[in-house]
Chains A and B, each alone.
Chain A
Amino acid sequence: NSKVIQTPRYLVKGQGQKAKMRCIPEKGHPVVFWYQQNKNNEFKFLINFQNQEVLQQIDMTEKRFSAECPSNSPCSLEIQSSEAGDSALYLCASSLRGRDTEVFFGKGTRLTVV
């Protein structure tokens, strides 16, 4: 099914620590998305990129998260100072175009902030 690769699968951090996760999109997919899924099965869109450029991001991502998709390197999402409420499944997805096209998800990074 999906060829989006996310690492690590599991991440445990203390409050205040940085948490970094990576994503390699499906080959040939220039558009990358990050979503956060909480324990109530609510998905929150965080940010998306087309190649190296940010297309859209939410306020939270602007303030406490940093994300990038450098050329010839994995995309990354980093939480600067982890909070307990950041514990969630972080899902990376990629697609051929920004819209009107199927989106494919990786297996996710499950972050636990203790």
Chain B
Amino acid sequence: GDQVEQSPSALSLHEGTGSALRCNFTTTMRAVQWFQQNSRGSLINLFYLASGTKENGRLKSTFNSKESYSTLHIRDAQLEDSGTYFCAAAPTGANTGKLTFGHGTILRVHP
């Protein structure tokens, strides 16, 4: 079965508001990455976390490996934040760094 369950699958936000995306893992993960994929398909790195919390501008991400989840918080959403967001993680014990991706959250920010 799926090792990475991402929610919500779609999200609509007014400019200036915020929300959270979440990934639950059904197996223990070593680290998690969050990406934004733009309309042309480019995957932009947002965060890499082996544990704890990181913040970058209007984005903040947390990875709790013990409780098997990660979150991505967006605040003060802007139009350019629209896109598809993916979490991806590497299971503990995997030796080659292969990532397992969530199914993505399609974010639309509107005026």
As a 0/1 sequence over residues 38 to 69 of chain B, the CB contacts with chain A under 8 angstroms (1 = contact) are 00111111001010000000000000000000
User: Could you tell me the distance between the alpha carbons of A103 and B33 in the complex, rounded to whole angstroms?
Assistant: 8
Any B CB within 8 A of the CB of A91: yes
Return the chain B residue nearest A48 by Cβ.
B96
Contacting pair B98 A48 (CB below 8 A):
yes
Closest to A97 in B: B97
B90: Cβ under 8 A from any A Cβ: yes
Which B residues touch A110, using CB under 8 A? Answer: 41
What chain B residues lie within 8 Å of A65 (beta carbons)? none
Are B42 and A33 neighbours in the complex by a CB distance under 8 Å?
no
B97 and A48 contacting across the interface, CB-CB below 8 Å = yes
The reply to whether A98 and B42 contact each other, CB–CB distance below 8 Å, is no
- The contact of A107 among B40, B50, B88, B95, by CB within 8 Å, is B40
Q: What's the minimum C-beta distance from B80 to chain A, rounded to whole angstroms?
A: 14
Are A103 and B99 touching (Cβ within 8 A)? yes
**What residue of chain B has the Cβ atom nearest to residue A108's Cβ?**
B41
What A residues does B42 contact at CB under 8 A?
Answer: 2, 105, 107-108
Interface positions of A from 34 to 48, Cβ below 8 Å from B: 35, 37, 40-43, 45, 48
Chain B nearest CB, measured from A94 CB (Å)? 10
C-alpha gap A107/B90 in the complex (Å): 21
- Contact pattern, A 72-114, Cβ under 8 Å of B = 1, otherwise 0: 0000000000000000010100010111111111011010000
Given known contacts A55-B97, A98-B97, A99-B90, what 10 new A-B pairs fall within 8 Å (CB)? A40-B103, A41-B84, A41-B86, A45-B98, A100-B31, A100-B50, A105-B35, A107-B40, A107-B41, A110-B41
The chain B residues found within 8 Å of chain A, CB to CB, are: 30-31, 33, 35, 40-45, 48, 50, 84, 86, 88, 90, 94-99, 101, 103-104
Closest 6 CB pairs of A and B: A43-B101, A102-B48, A99-B97, A105-B43, A55-B96, A98-B97
